[in-house]
Structure 1
Amino acid sequence: MTAITQAEATALPGLTRYPHVFEPLDLGFTRLKNRILMGSMHTGLEEAADGYPRMAEYYAERARGGVGMIITGGICPNLEAGRGSKLSTPEEAAQHQLITDAVHQADPDVKICLQILHTGPLAGNPDCVAASAVKSRIGRHTPNALDEAGIEKQQADFVQCARMAQLAGYDGVEIIGSAGYLISTFLVQKTNLRTDQYGGPWENRMRFAVEVVQRVREAVGPNFIVVFRISAMDMLDGGLAWDEVVSLGKAIEAAGANIISTHFCWHEAPVPTIATMVPRAAFAQVTGRLKKHLKVPMITSNRINMPQVAEEVLARGDADLVSMARPMLADPDLVTKALQGREDEINTCIACNQACLDHTFGGNQEVSCLVNPRACHETLLQYLPVKAGKRVAVVGAGPAGLAYATVAARRGHQVTLIDTAAEIGGQFNLAKRIPGKEEFHETLRYFRRQIELLGITLRLNTKATAQALKDEGFDTVVVATGITPRTPQIDGITHAKVVPYIDAILGRKPIGKTVAILGAGGIGFDVAELITHEGTSAALDISTFAREWGIDFVNHPRGGVTGVQPQVAKNDRTVYLMQRKADALGKNLGRTTGWTHRMVLGRRGVNMVAGVEYLKIDDAGLHTRVNGEPRLFEVDTVILCAGQTPLRTLHDELLALGVNSQLVGGAFEASELDAKRAIKQASEMAALV
C-alpha cells in the first residue's frame, strides 16, 4: 500500500486501522480500490416487474457505501437453468445496463460483475439438467442427464450470457461452480455417473468446468474480469477430495480465471455454514490453504461481518479479497464507516437469515434484512427529512421501539424513548444470552450509538403513565411496550416448580435436573438450547464448532467431513420439549436455520413430544395426555414458553385521554415474537410520521 499522509490518517483512520482492507488490488488491466466485495445474493427483484430500476438503486447504494466490487444475484444463462432472471439477448442486456450505469455513476471506481447461475438439479422445473439423472435431496425433480449436444448447448449458453454481460456494461462475470448447481454435479462422483469424456476419472469430471471458463475467456477477451466460484469444502459425504480441489483450482487458473472465489457447502449438506451459530470467518483457513497453491487472487467468505474480521483474515494471508454479502444488506455503508473510523455505527449482520435466505428459499418473497428493512426496498422505503419536526414519545426500547425512535429522529423529529428497564433491547436482551446468538450484542451496540448520534432523549428505569405523557404535550405517542408471557390455564400453574421463560433465561430461578418445556416455538427451542448447553459456545470457537458438526479443517477428508458422529457437549439434564399440536416440533422455525436447531437438540438428547394435553402440575410432576394416553412426566421444573399476549394497557389509557397513540411491534401483534416484523413495521410507520 502506498504511504499514507498524516492528514489522510487523521481524516480516514481506517487506512491505518485496516491497511490490508484498504489496499488496492491490481489485476493488470483494471484495479479494485479495496479488498471488500459485496458477494452474490439472489434478491427476488430479478423476477419482479419493477425489478431492474429497484436493483439499480440497491446496487448503487452499496457502491456509494464504499465497497470495491459487487457481484450480482444469480442470473440464468437459459430457461432450464432456474427460475431466475435470464440474460441471453441484447434486449435483456439493455435492462441490465440500468444497473451497471447506476453503479458506475455512483462510483466509477467500483467494479460490478454478473453472476452466471445455472442451478442444474435445483432449478425447480422438470426441464432441469445435470451431469447425470441423480436427484438432489432437496430438489423437486430428477434432472435430465445431458448428452453431448446438451453439454454443447449449456456451455454455449454460459458463453452467450457472458457476452451479454459485457454488452450490458458489467466489468466481469462470476461463474458459480459449487453448491450442488450444474457445474458441481459434474465434479462430484456421487452426482456424475457418466462413462464418457465428462465422467469417470477426475480429469474427465472437471472437464466441463474448465471448458466453460476457457470458452468464456475466449469470448470476452483479456480485459474482462472472470471469477470462478470453487467448492473448496463441500461439507458432504462423497464430496471433493483436497487434491481434487487443488487441481481444479490450478486448471481453472490456467483456463483464464482472474480470481477464484471459495465456496463452502452444497445446499443439501447437513452442516450450517452461514447461520449465526457459525463462528466468524470459520472457513477462511480453507481458502488460505488453497491460496498457497494458486497465483490468482482468492476470495474467502462466510460469517465475515465486521471490518476487523476482514482485516484479520487478510493479514493472516488467508485471502486476497473478502466477500461480505449479507453484511451489505444490513449496512450498505459498512466500508465507508470503517474507512472513517465509525465502526461503532455499523449495523452489523447477525446472520439470522430470517429476511434474506429464508425469503430466498421459502418461495417468491423479495429479500430484505431483519436489522435493515430498507434493503432491496430502497426506492420504496425512504427516510426523508421532515419539513417540521414533531415531539414524539416512544414507550418501549425493544426492537420495535428502537427502530421507530431512530428512524423518526433521523428524519428530524424530536424523540424521547422511555423504558422501565435499566437497558435498551427488550427481547433482544434475552436473545443475546442464548448460546449461538451472541451477535445480538452487535445490534444493541448499534442502537445505543444511534441514540447518542441522533440526540434521542433516553429515559430508562422509567414507567410511562398516560397522564404524564399527556401532560408533556407530545404530538404523538408510540406504544412499543411489547408483550407479556401467556400463562396457560393448567391446574397447579402456580406451583413452585413452574418457571416463566424470562426467569429461566435471566437465571432468576433455579432449573432442576429434569425439565419440561411447555411450548416448542422459537422461544422453547432457545430455552432448550440454553439449559442443555455445556462449555464454550460453538459460535465463539471454531474448533468446538468443527467438533459439533463433524468438520475436519486439519486433514480435509473428502468433502471436509469426518463421517463420524459429531460430538456435541451437553450437561446431565433430562429435557422434554413439548407442544399441544401433533405436528413435528420446530416445523415453523426458520427455513434455513430451523433444521440446525432441531439437529443440535436431538444430538443433546432433548426429548421432542408432540400432541400433549396438559392436565395438572403438582409435586409428582407434570400430568398429561400424549396423543390421548395418560402420562406423568416426573420433572423438577416446568418452564412456560406458551406464547404471549400484547401489552396494550398504556395505549388504551392514552386513547381514553384523547392522546394520539399508535401501537407497534409485539404490542400490536404478539402471536409469535417476530423481530423482523416488528422492526419492519416500526420503520415503515416512522417513515411516514
Structure 2
Amino acid sequence: MKKYKNIFSSLKVKNMVLKNRIVMPPMGTNYAGQNGEIREEHIKYYEQRAKGETGLIIVENAAVDFPLGSNGTTQLRIDHDSFIPALYNLTERLHKYGANVAMQINHSGASAVPDRIGCQPVSSSNIPSKTGGSIPRPLERKEILDIVEEYAKAAKRVQIAGFDAVEIHAGHSYLISQFLSPIYNKRRDEFGGNIENRARFGRMIIDSVRREVGAMFPIILRVSADELIQGGNTLQDTLRILEYLDDEVDIFDVSAALNDSLQYQIDKMDLEDGWRSYMSQAVKEKFHKPTITTGNIRNPEVAEEILTQEKADLIGMGRGLIAEPKWALKVKNGQEDMLRKCISCNIGCAGHRIGLNRPIRCTVNPDTIYEDEYKNRKVKRQTNVVVIGGGTSGLEAACTAAELGCNTFLFEKKPYLGGLAKEISKFPDKYRVSYFPEYLIKRAKKLNNLTIFTDTEGNVKLIDIVKPDIIVNATGSKPLLPPIKGLLENIDKEGGKLYSIFGLLNRIHEFENVNFDGKKVVVIGGGAVGLDVVEFFSERKAKTSMVEMLPMIGKDLDVITKISVKEIIKKYNVNVNTNTALTEVASDHFKVKKDDNEIVMNFDYGFVCLGMRAENQGLEKLKEHFQDKNVEIINIGDSFRARKIIDGVKEGRDIILALEKINAIL
C-alpha cells in the first residue's frame, strides 16, 4: 500500500525472499514440551502470526547442546535429529501463509540454571551471567571446539527441517556473548584478551555453520550492539568486534543489553518507539548488510520512517506480535485504528517466563495461541448480557459477548470508559497503557449488538428492564485507605498537600511541568502505584522518600520493572524505608514506626498508595434480586479482587464459560 510502501516492499537475501519488512524476533515462550519438542499449541501460536502476514518469523532459541546449553523451564531443542520431523511440521504450516521462517540456535552458557541442567554451568570464565547468578566454570579448549561443532550440526538440522534461514545468538548474556563481552571474558588464551581473541569463538561458529548449510542459506547474527552497562561493550566496541564476525553473515539482528541491563533488552515501557534504531543504522552503514531493529515499535508510522531513513531494513516486533498477531495484515488493510498494541508492561511475557517459569501470556491478548477462533462459536438462542463497569475487564467481557451474538448492554457510571487503565496512563511514563482501553473502546463501537450507556449506574431496576440471562459485575476497585489516625481527615482535601492516587491523577497536568527541586515528597506504599509516584516526582527533581511495611519494595512487580525500579532508586537517590509502618497522618507530615522507633517524616507533598480494594457494593443486591430468575451472575476483574489488568481481561474473555454454563452457545 502507498502509505507504507517500505513496510510492504519485498527483500531478497540469498535464497530467501521476504514479502514485507515485518519480523517476529525470537522470544522464549515455555510452550515447548518437557523434552524440548515442539507441540501443537506451540505451532498454533506461530501459525497465528503467519496468518497475520508477518514476513519473517524467527522461532525462539533452540538449544544446540542439552542439558548443558539449555535455559528456561521448557525450551526447544535442536541437538538431535529426532526433533526434525515436528519442526518440519511447523515450517510446513507457516509456509502455507507466505511467511518465511528462521530458527535461532543457542547455547546458554552461564545463563543456565544448575538445578535445571543438573551440573555447573559453563562460560568463557568464572563470571556469573547476572548479579547473584551461579558461578560457571571456564570451558576448556576441547570443549569449545566441541560446542562449535554442535552449532554446525544444529544449523544443518534447521535447514533440513525446512527453515529458510538460521540465526546465531551472539548477544543477551548467552555463551557467545560471554566470550565477546569484557564483562564476562577474563581468559588469557587465544579466546580472551583483545577483541580479535574474544571474537574467535563466534568466528569459528559462523564458519562451521556456513560449512554445513552452504553458500546460499542465509545466516542471521543477533548481537547486543551496546551492552548498556559499565565496563561492557559500547556500540563503537561492537562495530570493531563485528569486523571479525562480518564474513558469512547475511543479516545483522541488532539488539542491546545484557542480563544486568535487561530493561533495555526487553524494553521498559517508557522507552520510545524505535529508540534502538540508531544502533542498527550504525551497523548497516559500516557493513552494508541488511539489519533488523527492534525496540518498542508499535506504530506503523514509526516503522515506515525507520525504513525510509535507512536506519534498518527490517522491523522486529516481538511483544508487539504477541499482543497483535495481525499487525501486518491490519496495517496492510488500512485498519491501523484496530491494532491491539502492546503496552510494554512485560507482565505476561517476560514476567511469566523469566520471573515465574510459566508459559507466556499477554495482558492485552487473552488468548495468544488460538487468537480469534472463539468468534467461530455463536449463541444458539437469544441471549441478553449485561455488563456493569466499563474498565478493561468489563469491556473485554462486553465485546466478547457481542462478538458471539449476544445482545449486550454495558453500563458505566462515569462519563467515560477505560477504568483504572485510563487513569494510570495519565502518568507520562505510563502513556502506553492507554493503548489498550482505546483499542477496546474502538472495538466496542464497531459492534451493533453492543449498547453502551455512560453516566449511568447499572442498578437493579435498570438491569431488570433488559431481562438479562447473564450479568457481569466489573465495577473495579478504589484506593485502600485503612483506619489510620488522621488519614481520612487530611487526604484529597481542597488546598491540601496529601493525596491518594486518584487525587494525584486528577491533578496530574498541574504537576507535570513543575520543577520540584528541593521539595520533599513522601510516598507511603512500595507497590506498583507507589513506585509510579516515586518515579514521577524523582524525575522532576523532588527529594523523594518511600515507606513500605514489607521487607522489600515492588514485591509483585515483573522482572523488567523490578530492574527499572532499582535503576530509578539509584539514579535519583530515593530514600527507601522498608519494614516501616504508617501510624499517623497530618496535613504536612507522616508518623511511621520502624524497629519500635517512631519517626516523623515531613513533606511538601505526601501520597498514600497502599494498594486498591474491590468495589462491589451492589453485587449482593443483584444476587438477591435475580436469585429466582435463572440469571447467571459473575464477578470479574478488580471487583472480584484487586489485581493486574491481565487477570481481569482473561476473566472478561471467559464469559464464554458462563454462556456454556447456561447452554446458550454452540
Give TM-score, length-normalised by structure 1.
0.87
* C-alpha deviation, 1:510, in angstroms: 8.7
Matches within 5 A, 1:434-453: 434-453=427-446
Superposition deviation, residue 488 in structure 1: 0.9
Aligned to 1:666: 638
Task: Note the 1:325-340 alignment, pairs <5 A.
Answer: 325-340=318-333
Quick one: which amino acid aligns to residue 259 of structure 2?
H
User: How far does residue 201 in structure 1 lie from its aligned partner after superposition?
Assistant: 2.5
Name the aligned partner's letter for residue 285 of structure 1: Y
Amino acid at match of 2:294: S
State the AA in 2 paired with 1:189: P
In structure 1, the partner of 2:464 is: 470
Match of 1:575 among 527, 541, 544: 544
Q: Specify the SS of the correspondent of 1:495.
A: helix
Q: Assess if the C-alpha contact under 8 Å between 1:344 and 1:445 holds in 2.
A: no
**Partner residue of 2:583 out of 615, 627, 643:** 615
Q: Match for residue 296 of structure 1?
A: 289
Is the deviation greater in 42-51 or in 233-242? 42-51
1:597 matched to 2:584? The reply is no
- Gap change, CA 1:644 and 1:277, over 3 Å in 2: same
Instruction: Write out per-residue CA displacement over residues 514-568 of structure 1, whole angstroms, 9 at most, x where no aligned residue.
Output: 443222211111222334443xxxxxxxxxxxxxxxxxxxxxxxxxxxxxxxxxx
Structure 2 partner of 1:124: 113
**CA deviation map 1:242-275 (0-9, x unaligned):** 4542244344332x22211111111222763411
Secondary structure, aligned partner of 1:191: coil
1:653 aligns with 2:641: no
Say yes or no: does 1:22 pair with 2:22.
Answer: no
On the 8 A contact 2:256/2:264 being kept in 1, the answer is: no
Unaligned runs of 5+ in 2: 491-495, 660-666
Give secondary structure in 2 for the equivalent of 1:281. coil
- CA shift at 1:139, angstroms? 6.2
1:381–1:178 CA distance, 2 compared to 1 (3 A): farther
Instruction: Classify 1:618/1:31 alpha carbon distance in 2 versus 1 (closer, same or farther; 3 Å).
Output: closer
CA contact (8 A) 1:374 1:382 kept: no
Give the secondary-structure state (helix, strand or coil) at the position aligned to 1:86. coil
Instruction: Pick closer, same or farther for the CA change 1:623–1:201 going to 2, 3 Å.
Output: closer
Note if contact 2:384-2:466 (Cα within 8 Å) is conserved in structure 1: no
Q: Is the 8 A contact 1:96 1:168 kept in 2?
A: yes
CA, structure 1 residues 424+51, in 2 after alignment: closer, same or farther (shift >3 Å)? Answer: farther
| 2:597 aligned partner, one-letter code | E
* 2:649 aligned with 1:683: no
Letter in 1 for 2:526: A
Q: Does the 8 Å CA contact 1:381/1:684 hold for their aligned counterparts?
A: no
Does structure 1 retain, via aligned residues, the 8 Å contact 2:187–2:193?
yes
Name the structure 1 match of 2:663.
none
The yes-or-no answer on 1:31 pairing with 2:17 is: yes
- Match runs of 1:379-390 below 5 Å: 384-390=377-383
Match of residue 526, structure 1, among 532, 537, 541: 532
Is the partner of 1:356 in helix, strand or coil? helix
What is the alpha-carbon distance in structure 1 between the residues aligned to residue 152 and residue 372 of structure 2? 33
Could you tell me how far 1:601 is from its partner in structure 2?
4.1
**Equivalent residue, structure 2, for 1:501:** 501
Report the 3-state secondary structure (helix = DSSP H, G, I; strand = E; otherwise coil) of the residue aligned with 1:75: strand
AA at the equivalent of 1:82: S
For the structure 1 residues 383 and 251, does the alpha-carbon distance in structure 2 shift closer, same or farther, using more than 3 Å as the test? farther
Q: 1:186 to 1:574 in 2, by over 3 A?
A: closer
Question: How far apart are 1:441 and its partner, in Å?
Answer: 2.3
- Partner AA of 1:486 in structure 2: L
**Residues of 1 paired with 2:651 and 2:372: CA distance?**
17
RMSD: 2.3
* Structure 1 pair 619–522 and aligned structure 2 pair: CA distance change class (3 A): closer
Answer yes or no: is 1:263 the counterpart of 2:255: yes
Letter in 1 for 2:474: A
Deviations 1:570-595 (A, max 9, x none): 2xx443321222x1222332212122
- For residue 11 of structure 2, what is the amino acid of its counterpart? L
Aligned counterpart in structure 2 of residue 81 of structure 1, from 69, 72, 91:
69
1 CA distance for matches of 2:138 and 2:197?
16
Distance 1:509 1:351, change over 3 A: closer
Task: Check conservation: 2:63, 2:78, Cα contact below 8 A.
Answer: yes
Over 3 Å counting, the alpha-carbon distance change for 1:634 and 1:342 in structure 2 is: same
- CA deviations 1:619-672 (Å, max 9, x no partner) are 5632232221011222354422223321222221111111432100001112xx
Partners of 2:158 and 2:587 lie apart in 1 by 71
Which residue in the other structure is 1:318 paired with?
311
- d(CA) in 1 for partners of 2:295 and 2:588? 48
Aligned pair in 2 of structure 1 residues 379, 196: CA closer, same or farther (>3 Å)?
Answer: farther
1:442 and 1:577 mapped to 2: Cα distance?
A: 29
Which of 17, 42, 57 does residue 55 from structure 1 map onto? Answer: 42
Question: Amino acid of the residue matched to residue 507 of structure 2?
Answer: G
Cα distance between partner residues in 1 of 2:507 and 2:417: 19
Matches within 5 A, 1:20-169: 20-48=6-34, 52-79=39-66, 80-83=68-71, 84-105=75-96, 107=97, 109-125=98-114, 126-138=119-131, 140-169=133-162
**TM-score scaled by structure 2?**
0.90
Q: 1:299 to 1:222 in 2, by over 3 A?
A: same
Equivalences for residues 507-586 of structure 1 within 5 A = 507=507, 513-534=519-540, 570=541, 573-581=542-550, 583-586=551-554
- Counting aligned pairs with the same residue, the percent is 25
Matches within 5 A, 1:417-456: 417-455=410-448, 456=450
Query: In 1, Cα distance between the equivalents of 2:561 and 2:186?
Result: 32
Shift, 1:307, TM fit: 1.6
The answer to whether the 8 A contact 1:90-1:167 is kept is no
In the alignment, is residue 486 of structure 1 matched against residue 480 of structure 2? yes
Determine the structure 1 residue equivalent to 2:224. 231
Q: Which string of whole-angstrom CA distances, capped at 9 and with x for unpartnered residues, describes residues 171-199 of structure 1?
A: 12110001111001111233222232222
Match of 1:537 in 2: none
Residue type of the alignment partner of 1:409: A
Q: Deviations over 1:397-425 (max 9, x none)?
A: 11111111122222222222211112111
1:272 is aligned to 2:264: yes
SS of 2:440's partner is helix
Alignment pair present for 1:189 and 2:182: yes
Give yes or no for the alignment of 1:215 onto 2:221.
Answer: no
Contact 1:57/1:378, CA 8 A, preserved across alignment: no
- Which deviates further from its counterpart, 129-138 or 614-623? 614-623
AA partner of residue 522 (structure 2): A
Q: Tell me the secondary structure at the aligned position of residue 84 of structure 2.
A: helix
1:187 and 1:605 map into 2 onto residues whose CA distance is: 33
Label 1:199 to 1:185 Cα distance change in 2 as closer, same or farther (>3 A). Answer: same
Match for residue 664 of structure 2? none
**Unmatched tracts of structure 1, length 5 or more:** 1-14, 535-569
Q: Which amino acid aligns with 1:163?
A: K
Other-structure match for 2:662: none
Tell me if structure 2 keeps the 8 A contact 1:159–1:216: yes
Range moving further from structure 2, 613-622 or 297-306: 613-622
Task: Look up the SS of the partner of 1:478 in the other structure.
Answer: strand
Contact in 2 for aligned 1:253/1:296 (Cα 8 Å): no
In structure 2, how many angstroms separate the alpha carbons of the residues matched to 1:509 and 1:335? 35
1:678 partner amino acid: G
State the shift of 1:115 in Å. 0.7
Whether the 8 Å contact between 2:546 and 2:574 is mirrored in structure 1 is: yes
* Residue 51 (structure 1) shift: 5.0
**Cα deviation, residue 350, structure 1:** 0.9
Go from structure 1 to structure 2 and tell me whether the alpha carbon gap of 1:619 and 1:429 turns closer, same or farther (over 3 Å shift).
closer
